[in-house]
Structure 1
């Protein structure tokens, strides 16, 4: 992202925390080196002018002669990672570059519709799997579907995603059975509603991954956008029902009930995962709704 110019540089990788004590662009400029062939592999987003600067050289980052907006870079980092922006994460530079070209408004006219469609499908394919992996890691009622290293090595991710989808079906079945049992026991309505929402959430997640898999065979850009609208609708439903579940399982009445009924342990342990669901599907809504 150095305005398409290839330079031979001496790379000195540095951790971002080394520059954390600077609070503004003027402070960061003190870190600029006098050598024009040194690269720290670090950039700085200056919010007042919404630009991204190379810390070692002080250059504004550009692609095809256009400044890279800081807000677009933040969106890219957030979408390409399943972690919170405050957490450390490794993101491939090529993915970051192509994301900016594909989804950032600044570079909207630099790719053909086919190129955009291909990149969007790759994003959704890769990062829907990363979300599934993260969710399987945080759900103590599930088996972890794979390691991140397995994803990097595999040419086809379907086998991993299928493993997660099978577990979603099993989860849906368990909550459906629990719901029927509670109905026969004439349980309180709020508890029935909670279990029903949890069963529906598993069904919606399964629906989401089914929709992302369908994107693989879509080659028409307009049809792709239509399919993405369905994915966004499902994501929105997931966020809504996830928030309701999270609120209920933190309530005092649920805590009391869970102490009495061990069948609710799967619901009780959902608290942490619910925030991960909120983060990841919130990212999907924020970024893909631009298209």
Structure 2
């Protein structure tokens, strides 16, 4: 279940449903879609349909057996420009537009859902010009990368939070908002580099020195990722944009690989035994929680942008 609908439009004071290219004035009622979570299939969901034909909950759900998206309040299959909206495209949009876990009910901007499905969905690939796609992809990468930075700054014990997702939605200066995060990434690189030197001097086991080196490299790669997204903002050619996205994907792939290696090592018996008697490793131990979020967010980037 998803709060938000690509067919829900607001024009001034009017709220409209434009499903299947029709225009229906509606009365929107804010309902948390999680209350419908006990329904297991499309037939069961019919119990939630509104008795009035113009009532809209602005909430939708994916019916996996037919891979279609349905309106909860009216039971209609969602259609845009004469085509059914595939459930796969909607789930891709949710993954890319939200930093929440994929299993959580996401509160997604309806207009963002609409633009994403048209821009990156296979079904509607021919409905937007390359210029329109370029602008929308840049917008998505901007917003999603900022949300990742916010989420990571909130979870990393070595960082100060840089802001909130609400501030991003309200509109912020990209580089101004990100500057604090980039500075903290540089500080992390320095911290892990110095710690590595200490362990080398102490003749620590090679595996712990390698682990600290991976943590330094992770901070370096994340800094590289944001540097690449900053460059993306100045690209207006679609083909050049795709090439730049390939570099971003490569960086994201490296981040995922090294993050997995770090997570695996800090859960090993040898690390747990060493960390129990070494306070210098406490910060590294705290990374376990953040590593799961890193895997989720950068995994989403890989899954979505590889479709371009």
Which residue, 130, 145, 167 being the options, matches 1:150?
167
Matched pairs, number: 291
Query: Which digits, 9 at most, give the CA deviation of each residue in 1:169-220, with x for residues without a partner?
Result: 1100100011111111111011011001000000000000000000010111
Using the TM superposition, name which of 30-39 and 247-256 deviates more.
Answer: 30-39
Match of 2:122 in 1: 105
Quick check: 1:233 aligned with 2:277? no
Which residue, 157, 170, 178 being the options, matches 2:195?
178
Match of 2:209 in 1: 192
Which residue, 63, 67, 79 being the options, matches 2:84?
67
- Flag the 1:143–1:72 CA change in 2: closer, same or farther, 3 A: same
Distance 2:34 2:241 in 1: 40
SS at match of 1:36: coil
Query: Which digits, 9 at most, give the CA deviation of each residue in 1:95-148, with x for residues without a partner?
Result: 111110100000000000010000000110111010000000000110101122
Quick check: 1:15 aligned with 2:52? no
Match of 2:229 in 1: 212
* Structure-1-length-normalised TM-score: 0.97
Quick check: 1:255 aligned with 2:269? no
Match of 1:93 in 2: 110
Quick check: 1:136 aligned with 2:164? no
Match of 2:241 in 1: 224
Distance 1:290 1:33 in 2: 37
Shift in Å, 1:37? 1.2
Distance 1:48 1:120 in 2: 30
Structure 2: gaps (5+ residues) = 1-6, 8-18
Query: Which digits, 9 at most, give the CA deviation of each residue in 1:223-262, with x for residues without a partner?
Result: 1000000000000000000000000001121112112221
Quick check: 1:290 aligned with 2:303? no
Distance 2:40 2:170 in 1: 40
SS at match of 1:60: coil
Using the TM superposition, name which of 134-143 and 257-266 deviates more.
Answer: 257-266
* Structure-2-length-normalised TM-score: 0.91
Distance 1:153 1:32 in 2: 33
Shift in Å, 1:6? 2.5
Query: Structure 1 residue runs of 4+, over 6 Å off?
Result: none
SS at match of 1:30: helix
Task: Report the RMSD for the aligned CA atoms in angstroms.
Answer: 1.2
SS at match of 1:48: coil
- Flag the 1:63–1:205 CA change in 2: closer, same or farther, 3 A: same
Structure 1: gaps (5+ residues) = none
SS at match of 1:53: strand
- Flag the 1:159–1:185 CA change in 2: closer, same or farther, 3 A: same
Shift in Å, 1:65? 1.3
Quick check: 1:24 aligned with 2:36? no
CA contact (8 A) 2:34 2:105 kept: no
Match of 1:268 in 2: 285
Distance 1:184 1:209 in 2: 33
Distance 2:197 2:298 in 1: 29
Match of 2:61 in 1: 44
Match of 2:184 in 1: 167
